[in-house]
Amino acid sequence: MRGKLKHREMVQMLVRSLGKVPEHRRGENTQYEIKDAGLAAFAVFFMQAPSFLAYQRDMQRKQGKNNAGSLFGVTEIPSDGQIRNLLDPVDPQDLGEPFWEVWDCLEAGKQLEDYRGIGDTWLISLDGSQYHSSQKVHCENCRVQVRDDRAYYSHLVMAAVVCAPGQEHVICLQPEFITPQDGHEKQDCEQEAIKRWVERHAQRFADWGVTVLTDDLHCHQPTCELLLQHKLHFVLTCKEDSHQGLYEELALLEKVEGAIQTRTVRHWNGRHAEHWIYRWAQQLPLRKGPDGLRVNWCQLTIVHETTGEVLYRNAWATDHTLDETTVVEVAAAGRSRWKIENEGFNVLKNRGYHFEHNYGHGQQQLSSVLLTLLLMAFLFHTVLHLCCDMYRAVRQELGTRRTFFDDLRALTRYVYFTSWQQLITFMYQQLELEPG
């Protein structure tokens, strides 16, 4: 079994990926490498420090060395404008491999065993989000919507994360960007992005080793058939308003005693008791018509034991077989879909990563490249939390995320560290933390 992933190993994964990016410049003006531009941008996101590179240029002038080089492998620090110019033509797909190298290492190192869900599968939640919107700033890859004779430009991404019930962190996988596709007249959309993500990456997982989670928007026959074709399970939110045929069948089954099975479990949430009521039925048509795909359906309703108030209700369509045991696991998997919002997008938007901030739009693919590097920084911090006891202890001792990153920014502005390990060890020792 391989050891736990280290910061320097992950940075080397990014270095190798950037080193393979095709050179797009012509002429002799190649003072800075594309690799350095990518590593420099990544360093800003990892440190959550917009001024990090400026401080490291100052350190280089004064000390002849800097933390951008020692911590992130930057050979020569480009200016912000040079970074944007160098990264604008880069295809974000060329930067995807570190996501999968990290995944492979975590799986081989057994750091992801707690992320297995129903049927011992990985739970992968897919969801789209907008990360740029403007009426003025735009590029050829923007999505365009016209409202009230005004053009609105935006960028969207289909994010993919591995999640699990009870886990406070999500594992970010390579994203799929929602951008105009060659040979397509219609604008790109979430459904097409999911299709591309599945077709690109399904082969990376063992057959039937993944359960895909999505919202109701994607709970339709083409998506389900695509997932089954690629040997992926699914647990998809299934609302009544958008699945008339399935719920008409359920209404008929309601009249037949025992056709819809039920299990009730009493839970104590620390304040009051709740009744968790599971209902399920199998082999229902996902849509009307003779060719409707047969799926299994389950619903979870949580009721306050004393007042009878309904605290939660949701339903899912799945290909997993349902019984008194698996219905609980399927509902838990379905509920964990929200982790892409709570532990994913919420952290990225509100906890220092500034997911929706325009770090640089460019004329080609700059915004997508920068977002890829931002998501990679998010992933690397998650991995450090999973794999590094010292990192975890420092984060816990400092309490808030803001304090941790404030300390990182201050330390690296004034003090040179030979490596990330030296930096995190310095913090650990200054906090007088005892070995765990």
The verdict on residue 82 lying in a domain is no
Residue 185 in this model has a pLDDT that exceeds 80: no
Lowest average pLDDT, out of 20-24, 147-151, 157-161, goes to 147-151
pLDDT confidence band for 3 (50 / 70 / 90):
low
- In percent, how much of the chain has pLDDT > 90? 78
Report the pLDDT value the prediction gives residue 116, as an integer from 0 to 100.
92
On whether residue 262 sits in a domain, the answer given is yes
pLDDT higher than 80, residue 358: no
Is residue 426 scored above 60 in pLDDT?
yes
Residue 90: per-residue pLDDT = 95
Domain membership of residue 264 (yes or no) is yes
Mean pLDDT score, 59-68 = 97
State yes or no: pLDDT of 372 exceeds 90.
yes
Confirm if 90 and 365 have CB atoms less than 8 A apart: yes
Say which residue, 223 or 187, is predicted with more confidence: 223
Quick check: is 212 in a domain? no
Residue 127 covered by a domain: no
Of 58, 11, 59, 55, nearest to 36 (Cα)? 11
Residue-number span of the structural domain to which 306 is assigned: 239-324
pLDDT at 213 over 60: yes
d(CA 106, CA 86): 31
What is the tens place of the pLDDT at every residue in 151-175? Answer: 888 889 999 999 999 999 999 999 9
In a domain, 280, yes or no: yes
Q: How far apart are CA 65 and CA 55, in angstroms?
A: 12
In this structure, the number of other CB atoms found within 10 A of the CB of residue 213 comes to 29
DSSP-derived letter for residue 178 is E
**In a domain? residue 272:** yes
Is pLDDT above 90 for 245? yes
Average pLDDT over the chain reads 92
Position 1 confidence tier, pLDDT thresholds 50, 70, 90: very low
Residue 305 predicted with pLDDT over 60: yes
Give per-residue pLDDT as tens, 41-58.
999 999 999 999 999 999
**Structural domains counted in the chain:** 1
Pick the more confident residue, 350 or 419: 419
Give me the mean pLDDT over the 343-355 stretch.
81
| pTM of the predicted protein model | 0.93
Which stretch of DSSP H or E encloses residue 35? Answer: helix 34-47
In a domain, 149, yes or no: no
pLDDT band at 184 (very low <50, low <70, confident <90, very high): low
For the segment 82-115, what is each residue's pLDDT rounded down to a tens digit? Answer: 999 999 999 999 999 999 999 999 999 999 999 9
C-alpha to C-alpha distances, 319 to 234, 298, 325, 327, 362, nearest whole angstrom: 6, 11, 15, 12, 43
pLDDT of residue 143: 83
The span from the CA of 407 to the CA of 395, in Å, is: 11
Residues forming beta bridges with residue 273, ordered by sequence position: 268
DSSP string, 286-333: SSSSTTPPEEEEEEEEEEETTT--EEEEEEEEESS---TTHHHHHHHH
In DSSP terms, which residues pair with 130 in a beta bridge? 156
